[in-house]
Each structure stands twice: as C-alpha cells, then as structure tokens.
C-alpha cells in the first residue's frame, strides 16, 4: 500500500501543478511586466470556466470551447487593460485596487448570468473512464490536462526565448525604463501580455472546469494559489511559474495527506518562509 500511496499522491500533485501553471503563468507575466498583481486573475479563470460551460452547452467541441473560451476572457483582459488600467498609468496602487474592483464586477456578473449553483463542465466522453494500472485508478482527464500544461509551458518558453516578442517582454520585465528608451513599445506590450495572461487563465478555467466545476467563489479559491505560486517561483519568470506551480502542487497534496490537521496552513507556511528569506522568490526578477 505504501508505494501506491506515493505514486498516486505524486500524480495528484503534478496534475494539480499543471492546472496551477495555466492559472499562474499569465499572472506571473503580468506581475513581472506591469509590476501589479492582477487581482482579477482568479475572476478571469472563473469566467473562463463559465464561458466553457455555456460553449459546451451549445455542443461546441471540447478543445475548441477551451480555445474560444480562453480568447473570450483574453478580450475582456484587453478591454480592462486599455480602458481601465491605462487611465491609471503610473499609479500602481490605483491599478491594483482597480483590478480588485473588476474582479468583484466579474464575479457579480457571473452570478447574475449563470446563477449561484455549481455547474459541472463535462469532460470529453473518451477521457471519462479512469486509467487503471498497477492496481489503482487515476482520472484520465487530469493526466491530459497535465500534458496540455506541459505543452503550454513549452510553447511559452519558445515564445519568450526565441521570438522578438518574447525578447521585448523580457526586456520590459528587466527594466521598463530602458526598454522604452531603446524604442520598445512598452504600452503595446502591456496590452499583449494582458491578452496572453487573461487567455491563459481563461483556457485554464475551461480545462479546470471538469475537475473543479464552475461556481461562485472559484475566483477567490484560485487567486491565493496563483499568488503563492508567484511568490514562491518569483514574479516575471516563466521558469518560476513552472517550478512554483509544481512545488505548490506537491506541498498541497502531500501536506494535506501527511499533516491533515494543518490543511488550512500547509500552503501559507512555505509562502511566509519564502517572503522572509527570499522575497523575490526562487527565480524572480522583481522585488515584491
């Protein structure tokens, strides 16, 4: 029984970590480039789940629904960045508060449109039966989400390291003033990164829907996790978001399994330690 326990909890951890990466990568990029924690990020995730629910109700194919739902949230992200955040350029505190306000608005609109009951998103039929091996079972769908997260991580890595856009983003994260100085259109970069981040969160929401359901409160359940990932991994770093997501996945799953009485604290303890000893996180380039 012992080794089975370790295997299943490891699978749980990495599957959860994959989902967290989809949620947190966008958050990390936005935080790194624009120096603000986008407190509407949890709401973006939840909105994606709700969009996914409706698109699936309209019988759209699952993966298509994930893409379309994600882009829908991405558009909302662009609108928020261009028409709200940009008005407060230079006022970082104001921008953070405004993202909080937008998160409330999004949450209330979701409640209005989809009502308060939790909505399950149906996973694709083919992925419903659990994978059975070595005497135990594991939900197939979660492993597929993990695979997608890994593919997304690879795609983002290539974007950041091999494209001009990526180079510009990295320059903006490192030193916004200098980037402007060498002619990088930083304001347009902000919008692009917001589009990217919000879309990632939206796609994460749809993909997470069959596991977590879409329900009022999903936003506030997920946002602290994104914060912890980014604090641990460091803001502005894709590697940080990647490593951080899996660390949080492991801490969450093993922590709960091994010290269940500390379930409420198991994530925050490491976060506090990191803030005290390594405030910029493991790979961070931005002082929080």
Partner 1 sequence: MAIDDYVRSSRTPILSVAGAEDMTQRKPNPWFVRPSCTSAQPSHPLGEYAAKELKCKRVAVIADDFAFGHENVAGFQRVFEDNGGKVVQKLWTPLNAPDYGTYISQLKGDLDAVYTGHAGSNGFKFIRQLREYGNKVQILGGFTPVDESLLQQMGDDALGAITGCWYSAELDFPNNKRFVEAIRRDYKTDPGVYAAETYVCGEVLDHALKAIGGKAEDKNTFMKALREANVPNTLRGPLRFDEFGNAIGNIYMRKVEKKDGRYVNAVVKTYPDVSQFWTYKQDEFLKNPVYSRDYPPAKNLEQ
Q: Is 3 in the site for partner 1 (CB under 8 A)?
A: no
> Taking contact as CB under 8 A, which single stretch among the options 166-174, 179-187, 239-247, 255-263 is the one that binds partner 1?
255-263
Tell me how many degrees the CA angle 239-200-180 measures, rounded to the nearest 5: 65
Among 89, 105, 137, 178, binds partner 1 (CB under 8 A): 137
Q: Is 78 in the site for partner 1 (CB under 8 A)?
A: no
Q: CB within 8 A of 261, min separation 6: which ones?
A: none
Per the CB < 8 A criterion, the answer to whether 73 and 44 are in contact is: yes
What is the per-residue binding string for partner 1 in 157-196, x denoting contact by CB under 8 A? ----------------------------------------
Q: Is 222 in the site for partner 1 (CB under 8 A)?
A: yes
Nearer residue to partner 1 within complex by CB, 139 or 197: 139
DSSP 132: E
d(CA 70, CA 148): 14
Among 92, 161, 175, 221, binds partner 1 (CB under 8 A): 221
> Taking contact as CB under 8 A, which single stretch among the options 73-81, 102-110, 191-199, 214-222 is the one that binds partner 1?
214-222
Closest CA to 210 of 44, 63, 21: 63
Q: Is 256 in the site for partner 1 (CB under 8 A)?
A: yes
Neighbours of 180 (CB within 10 A): 15
**Torsion over CA: 70, 74, 75, 79 (sign):** positive
43 backbone dihedrals φ, ψ, rounded to 5°: -65, -35
Closest CA to 249 of 12, 86, 69: 12
> Taking contact as CB under 8 A, which single stretch among the options 77-85, 137-145, 180-188, 239-247 is the one that binds partner 1?
137-145
Residue 74, both tokens = 């991405």
Residue 215 beta carbon to partner 1: minimum distance, rounded to whole angstroms: 5
Q: Is 139 in the site for partner 1 (CB under 8 A)?
A: yes
Residue 93, both tokens = 């505190």
Interface contacts to partner 1, rule CB under 8 A: 5, 8-9, 12, 15-16, 117-120, 128-130, 132, 137-139, 141-142, 211-213, 215, 217, 220-222, 225, 252-254, 256-257, 260, 263-264
């Amino acid at each position: 029984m012992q080794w089975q326990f370790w295997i299943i909890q490891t699978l749980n951890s990495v599957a959860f970590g994959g989902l967290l990466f989809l949620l947190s990568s966008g958050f990390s990029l936005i935080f790194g480039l624009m120096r603000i924690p986008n407190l509407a990020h949890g709401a973006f995730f939840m909105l994606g789940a709700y969009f996914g629910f409706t698109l699936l109700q309209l019988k759209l194919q699952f993966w298509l629904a994930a893409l379309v739902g994600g882009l829908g949230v991405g558009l909302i992200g662009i609108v928020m960045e261009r028409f709200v955040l940009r008005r407060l350029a230079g006022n970082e505190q104001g921008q953070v508060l405004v993202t909080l306000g937008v998160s409330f608005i999004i949450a209330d609109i979701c409640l209005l449109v989809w009502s308060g009951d939790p909505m399950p998103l149906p996973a694709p039929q083919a992925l419903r039966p659990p994978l059975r091996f070595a005497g135990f079972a594991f939900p197939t769908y979660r492993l597929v989400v993990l695979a997608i997260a890994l593919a997304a991580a690879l795609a983002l890595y290539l974007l950041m390291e091999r494209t001009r856009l990526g180079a510009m983003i990295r320059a903006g994260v490192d030193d916004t003033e200098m980037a402007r100085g060498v002619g990088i259109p930083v304001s347009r970069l902000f919008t692009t990164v917001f589009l990217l981040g919000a879309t990632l969160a939206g796609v994460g929401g749809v993909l997470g829907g069959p596991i977590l359901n879409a329900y009022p409160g999903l936003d506030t359940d997920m946002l602290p996790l994104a914060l912890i990932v980014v604090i641990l991994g460091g803001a502005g770093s894709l590697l940080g978001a990647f490593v951080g997501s899996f660390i949080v996945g492991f801490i969450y799953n093993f922590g709960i399994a091994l010290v269940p009485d500390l379930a409420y604290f198991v994530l925050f303890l490491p976060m506090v330690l990191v803030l005290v000893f390594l405030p910029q996180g493991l790979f961070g380039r931005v002082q929080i």
